[in-house]
Amino acid sequence: MSDPTANAAPGGSRPADLQARAARLDATDELAKLRDRFQLPDGVVYLDGNSLGALPTGVAQRLAEVVTREWGTSLIGSWSDGTWWTAPERIGDKLSPLIGAAPGQTVVGDSTSVNLFKALVGAARLAGPGRTRMLVDAATFPTDGYIAGSAARMTGLTVVPTDPADIPAALGEDTAVVLLNHADYRTGRLHDLPALTRAAHAVGAITVWDLCHSAGALPVGLDAHAVDLAVGCTYKYLNGGPGAPAYLYIAARHQQAFDSPLPGWNGHADPFAMTPDYAPAAGATRGRVGTPDILSMLALESALDAWDGVSIEAVRAKSLALTDFFLECVAAYVPEGAVESVTPAEHAHRASQVSLRTENAREVMAELISRGVVGDFRAPDVLRFGFTPLYVGFADAERAARTLGHIFG
């Protein structure tokens, strides 16, 4: 394998040209200063924020305060002083602008899988009797498929795996629920949330969208596009940290009728009454189940401070510019035929990652990581690079592509 610091790139292009362009782009990037809001190791190009986001600078101090003062000194009093008990709704409102939701519709807590189970069973119950099918993205993240199967068994529906492009033709009056990923986790393909939601509504079906690979990287517009229910994690582009709680969005128009299959005491209208009968709380609060994970919950709240003053539209513009530039650098540096992009070239169909197919992908990614370029591998043959515009720059994109070129050179 060649020295990644060599001056000549495979194919004849000179790194200095692309390096100079990267420097100019970084110098004029309005979001470049946001990198200072994160702690990143020196010398590392981090392109795996679509798996685990970087650490925002204020989180460690906030966690120390929670542990030493709120837990250590205030003890149980911290539940009732307005900080802990209201965190799921408060933090839900804080992240709502990033998914295009008005306040009062998003509650934070549990994992994506648990929230998806609530959403799918709740969606089936909202759809009502006489419907028999649940259409599920055929290439969905495996856990989504497992949860969909369980939710379907519970509600008497049949799961029908369907390519998102075929959803409009597959819909019918017997369709109860449509579960779709906004962005494909392997390829980075972005699916048409507005059009697919409209198509589902045209036959009376309820939509559930998984936003794990889009929220925080691009505008989602849940309210604007009349999405019914949505779930997502917060440890990827939202940088909430490992094991950060997920969220559940319940459109305001469905909240009164939303019947959660997990009616925990935190979702009760009067949780401290401790009555034997369950009465759901008003609003999205009925999506709560048990005691929230306070340490990770408040770490997420602090992490979201990194978004102060940031426009999600500006993030999307930089994401597209970064991925365009990376693909251009790959074409210049990597020998022809060594890799194949499986990420759509069209902006309308591209999320915030680039996936490249190649032989020996696992070994190639391991070598990239050893050289300070951190992406990830997806079986059987995909190199996956996530671009988080809050802390990834154009010089990072150029170095990653150049290093990849030298591995193949």
Work out the angle at residue 29's Cα, subtended by the Cα atoms of residues 353 and 382, and round it to the nearest 5 degrees. Answer: 15
Q: How would DSSP label each residue in 102-138? A: -TTSEEE-S-HHHHHHHHHHHHHHHH-TT--EEEEET
Q: Are 14 and 7 in contact (CB under 8 A)?
A: yes
Provide the strand spans (E) within 63-205.
Answer: 106-108, 133-137, 158-162, 175-181
Q: Which helix (H) or strand (E) holds 145?
A: helix 142-155
Q: Which two tokens stand for residue 17?
A: 């040209």
- Phi and psi based region of residue 38 (left: phi greater than 0; alpha: psi -120 to 50; beta: remaining): beta
Residues 6+ apart with CB under 8 A from 337: none
* Total residues belonging to the chain: 409
Of 355, 326, 333, nearest in space to 408 by CA: 333
Please give the radius of gyration of the chain, using alpha carbons only, rounded to the nearest integer. Answer: 22
Q: What residues does 135 pair with on adjacent strands? A: 160, 178
Phi, psi of 161 (to 5 degrees): -65, 130
CA–CA separation, 93 vs 85, rounded Å?
14
Q: Token pair 């986790």 is at which residue?
A: 185
Count Cβ atoms below 10 Å from residue 117 Cβ, excluding itself. 22
Active site residues: 141, 210, 235-236, 384
Residues 6+ apart with CB under 8 A from 331: none
Quick one: DSSP state of residue 268?
A: B
Of 365, 322, 326, 333, nearest in space to 7 by CA: 333
Q: Token pair 């307005």 is at which residue?
A: 82
Helix/strand/coil percent split, the chain, to 5: 45, 15, 40
Q: What residues does 385 pair with on adjacent strands? A: 354
Q: CA torsion angle for 40, 42, 44, 47 (degrees, to 10)?
A: 20
